[in-house]
Structure formats: structure tokens, C-alpha cells
Amino acid sequence: MIAPSYPLQASEIPVADDPVVLVIGSLYILLILAIGVWGYLRTDTLSDFLITGKSIGTWVLAITIFSVTQSGFGFVGGPELIYTFGLTPFWIFGTASFGFLVTWMLLGKRMRLLADIRDVMTLPDGMYARYESNWVRGLTAVTIIVAVTGYLATNLAALQYVMQAIFGIPVLWGLVIGSFILLLYSAIGGMIAGVWTDFVQGITMVGGAVLVFVYALSFGGGPQNISENLAAADPALVSPFGALGGVMALSWWILFSIGGLGQAHTITKFYMIKDIKLLRWGAPIAAISYGISSLLAFTTGLSMRAMVESGNINALESASQTMPIFVLDHTPSIVAGLVLSGLLAAIMSTSDSFLNIAAAAVTRDIPRSLGRPIEDSQLELRITQATLVGITLAATGVVYFSEALVGILGVIGWGLFAASLFPVVALGLNWKGATAPGAIAASVVGLSLNIIYEVLPTAFSTIGMSSVAESVSATYPFPQTVVVGAAAMLLSTIVFIVVSLATQSDYSVPADIRPLLEQ
């Protein structure tokens, strides 16, 4: 067996030898922990811990959903993917705003009404209410646990770079210390702390992205110079579909626009809004905020790659260094401090959302699907908080041993959610003909395809079994340029519709849920 390497721990990036960046970073961590303590003081029940007791308004909801989506995946993984593949990731970051509009239109009102009709706190709760099937509840919970482990790893992988950039500690210690702070913050603060941290860092991300956009264009010599340098090196980098081509771009567009309706960590936030009438303006606020913040990914990735190709700067050891290196070396201290600290908060709050839904899946949803719920609500809350530890350790292990790029880890996690949950949730809450057997079949197909063709090859490659990984990947039934998550989402949707049509005579929508589907 070939010994695996650990590039995420070996790469070097500049350290902010600047008191301004250090002070801003330290203050941000203190702010995060303070919000965590404040959240703890307001958390008396599991409902408070998981859905904030339905207490948030339009702006907080919109900024929270946008920032949870962007997070470490967008601010570290985005520049990384664009630096590596040119304009192909435009079909992720340039079109995901459309997904916010669709999500709000198809799910916002229905998810919030569901929280009034039934006592739901998690997505599996909601899907049990819709289908009245413990199999659907259990499969939804398993999907969340598997997807969150990989998706949380995306944010921890970004976190280690940010910790090193701000505080000058080795990347490995950045991972360990950052994970510990995250665990402490999440365990005490719950979703209340996460939502308000999301709001603060979302505002910071939008402001920082605008500033970085201006500096990045200037650094690259303007749009024309950037394009010419990239085209001279490889015309595909600046072609409409980038270096990975049209099929990959289309796959990413499908996955990140429509697939947004299956992202458990965002759609469950609709449970939290205090008044359903406040949903109206949330979609444009979230979409515009996401679009502005994505300017950072595009200009940073393209400018850095253009300057490398023109010989003005050295090639990066790792594409994951793109954003930290740019803001530290090519922006003023105050901008670097705000961007890196905002990213630190983004990672913490987004990871908090992941940890909460995964811990609830372990301690609330799976036991209920097996007919063995934890009856004492306080005990259930404490066990949920304790479960955060195991999930954090698992995700930290994925980061330490994985060779995958931050952005690729994000694509895998997003694809797993989209393929397994999009038909079950989005179609299920909009189509009376959806049935429990259809939901079960779709969940199995989506989950299985992603595990077989994304999770297993990545795991085998990481432990040095590359030949096994290649053998598994060779059985993939679609062209290699078709993203697994997109193919799995389309296939699971077809299966969902076909099986639902075949079983409609044996299934009826619960009486209290039927009016919701008619909204």
C-alpha cells in the first residue's frame, strides 16, 4: 500500500505579520464566542437549539441562508476552483443566485407552514409529516449524516488556512484549534448563535467582497489584461465553459441552481422565521448578496492565475492558497483583516448549522425512525450537544487525511444533499401524487450513487488504494464529464416520479398536510 500524503497540512501560505490583522482576527473570535454564550443563555429547549424558537426576521433569514451557502466553500473553494479551471466554476457561483429564487418560491412558505401544522424541528421531522413513513425519516437522517461529514470537512479545510494566515500557527494546529473553537461555540450556542453569527459575517462578506473585487482587478491589470494573459496560456480558461468544458459546466449549473432545493442546512431555516409574511423579500436579498459576494471568487481566482501565467508571481503550491495569499499580499491590512475574519466567522457559523442538523439526525431522527425516541427533552438536548463532538472529530479526520481540494469536497457534499433530498423535499411538498415508496426509492438511488462514485473513490485514493478507486470509477455509467451529483439528482428524480405514479393508488396525503400542498 502506498503511504498517503497530506497536502492540506504540508502547504505553506503567507502569515499576516501585521498587528491589525491579528487584532481584528482575535476580536472576531471573541465576538463568535460571545454570541455562543449569548445563544446558550437563550437556549432552554431543543426547539431553541435547533430552530431558534421561530424568532428571526426577513433580513436575518436572507443573509443567514446566503452566508451559509457561501461560507468556506465559496470564499476559499471558489477562488481555488476558478484559479484551477478558469470560467467553468462560473456555472456554480454565477448561477447559484437563481437557486435562491427557486428555493424561496417552491419551499419557503411550505416549510414554514409545515412547522405550524406539525411539531417539526428537523428536515426528517418534516419528511415524516409529509409521507408518514419512518423509512423516509431514517433515510433522510442518514443522508444528512453522510453529507454533513464531507461538507463540514470543506469548511474545516478552509478553516485551517485562515487560522494560519491570521495567527501564524502551523496548518495542522490551525485545524485542531479551529475545530476545538468551533465545537465549543456550537455545543453551547446552538442555532440561535449560528444564525446571528451568520448575519454578522454575511454583512462582512459582502463588504469585503466588493473591496477585494476592486483590488483584484487592479492587481491583474484590468479585465482585458487578465483575459489576454489567461488566453495566451490556455484559451479554454476564458472560454464560456472554462477548462472542464460544456458538459461539466452544465452539470454544475443543474446541481447548484436546482440542487439548492435539497440543501438541508439552508431549507430548514425556513422553519425559523417568526412570521410567514416576512418571506416575501428574502429571495432577492439572498440572491443579490450571494451574487455580490461571489465577485471575490471570480476576480481573485482569475487575477492570481493570470499573474502566474504572465510570470509576475510564482505558481501556488496549492490552489487552496489563492484567496489567503491574495488578501495578505495584495490588499491593505484592514481589508485583509476584515475578509479573513469574516471568513473565519462564516466557517464557524456554517459549520454550526451542519453540526446541529447532523447531531439531531443521530439523536432525534434515527431513534424516532426506529420507534425508540428519547422521551426526556432535556436529555435529548444534552445528547445532541454531546454528539457534536463525534461528528467534529470525524470531519477533522476527513480533512487531515484527504487530498481533495476544498472546492471539490464542497461539490461532493452539495451533490449528496441534492441527489438524495431534492425530489423528496422539493417535489414532495409541491405534488400531491408523491408517495412514500417514491421517496424511499429516490433516497436510496441518490445516496447509493454518491457513495459509490464519489465517497468510496475519494476514500480509497486517500488510503493509498488508487487502483481500487480507479476500478470503482470505471463502472460509472455516465461520461466522466457529468458530475456524479448532477447525474444522481436527475436519476433519483426520475425514479421518484415513476415509483410515485406506480404506487399512488395505495397512498394518500395526510389530511392536515393536504392544504399545505394547495398553497
Alpha-carbon span 280 to 172, nearest angstrom: 44
Q: Is residue 1 part of a domain?
A: no
Question: Closest Cα partner for 489 from 253, 247, 148?
Answer: 253
DSSP conformational letter for 426: I
pLDDT at 7: 40
B/e letters for 263-297, b = 16+ CB within 10 Å, e = fewer, are bbbbbbbbbbbbeeebbeebbebbbebbbbbbbbb
Amino acid at 240: P
- Residue 435 phi/psi, 5° resolution? -125, 165
Distance of CA 452 to the CA centre of its chain: 21
In the chain, how many domains are there? Answer: 1
Label residue 367 exposed, middle or buried (CB < 10 Å: 0-12, 13-18, 19+).
middle
Could you tell me the residue range of the domain that residue 475 belongs to?
A: 7-40+51-517
Q: pLDDT digits over 34-49, tens only?
A: 777 776 676 666 565 6
Kindly state the cell numbers that stand for 214: 476592486
Q: Is residue 116 part of a domain?
A: yes
pLDDT at 11: 46
Q: Is residue 424 part of a domain?
A: yes
Per-residue CA distances from 184 to 37, 176, 328, 348, 353 (Å): 10, 12, 28, 10, 14
- The whole model's pTM is what? 0.82
pLDDT at 490: 94
Per-residue CA distances from 314 to 170, 311, 395, 410 (Å): 22, 7, 32, 27
Q: Are 356 and 49 in contact (CB under 8 A)?
A: yes
User: In 277-319, where does DSSP find H-type helix?
Assistant: 282-309
pLDDT at 5: 33
pLDDT at 2: 29
Alpha-carbon span 34 to 50, nearest angstrom: 19
Task: Give Cβ neighbours of residue 224 (< 8 Å, ≥ 6 apart).
Answer: none
Beta pairing partners, 56:
273
Alpha-carbon span 422 to 416, nearest angstrom: 10
Question: Closest Cα partner for 498 from 417, 433, 422?
Answer: 433
Alpha-carbon span 77 to 256, nearest angstrom: 14
pLDDT at 373: 81
Task: Give Cβ neighbours of residue 255 (< 8 Å, ≥ 6 apart).
Answer: 92, 411, 414, 415, 418, 483, 485, 486, 489
Tell me which residues of the chain have a pLDDT lower than 70.
1-17, 39-40, 42-55, 72, 185-194, 346, 349, 398, 401-411, 462-463
Q: pLDDT digits over 225-241, tens only?
A: 999 999 999 999 999 89
Q: Is residue 82 part of a domain?
A: yes
Per-residue CA distances from 422 to 52, 82, 286, 418 (Å): 24, 27, 20, 5
| Dihedral class, residue 89 (left if φ above 0, else alpha if ψ from -120 to 50, else beta) | alpha
Alpha-carbon span 478 to 449, nearest angstrom: 11
Q: Is residue 375 part of a domain?
A: yes
Q: Is residue 2 part of a domain?
A: no
Alpha-carbon span 448 to 143, nearest angstrom: 10
Q: Is residue 45 part of a domain?
A: no
pLDDT at 132: 92
Alpha-carbon span 92 to 225, nearest angstrom: 24
Question: Closest Cα partner for 182 from 346, 65, 40?
Answer: 346
Beta pairing partners, 273:
56
Label residue 235 exposed, middle or buried (CB < 10 Å: 0-12, 13-18, 19+).
exposed
B/e letters for 433-454, b = 16+ CB within 10 Å, e = fewer, are ebbbbbbbbbbebbbebbbbbb
Distance of CA 289 to the CA centre of its chain: 16
Q: pLDDT digits over 162-213, tens only?
A: 787 778 777 778 788 877 877 776 666 666 666 777 777 778 778 888 888 9
Q: What is the largest CA-CA distance in the chain?
A: 69
Alpha-carbon span 464 to 481, nearest angstrom: 24
Please provide the size of the chain in residues: 519
Q: CATH number for the domain including 421?
A: 1.20.1730.10
Q: Is residue 392 part of a domain?
A: yes
Kindly state the cell numbers that stand for 19: 498587528
Alpha-carbon span 411 to 405, nearest angstrom: 10
**At 310, is the secondary structure helix, strand, or coil?**
coil
Element (DSSP H or E) covering residue 436: helix 436-450
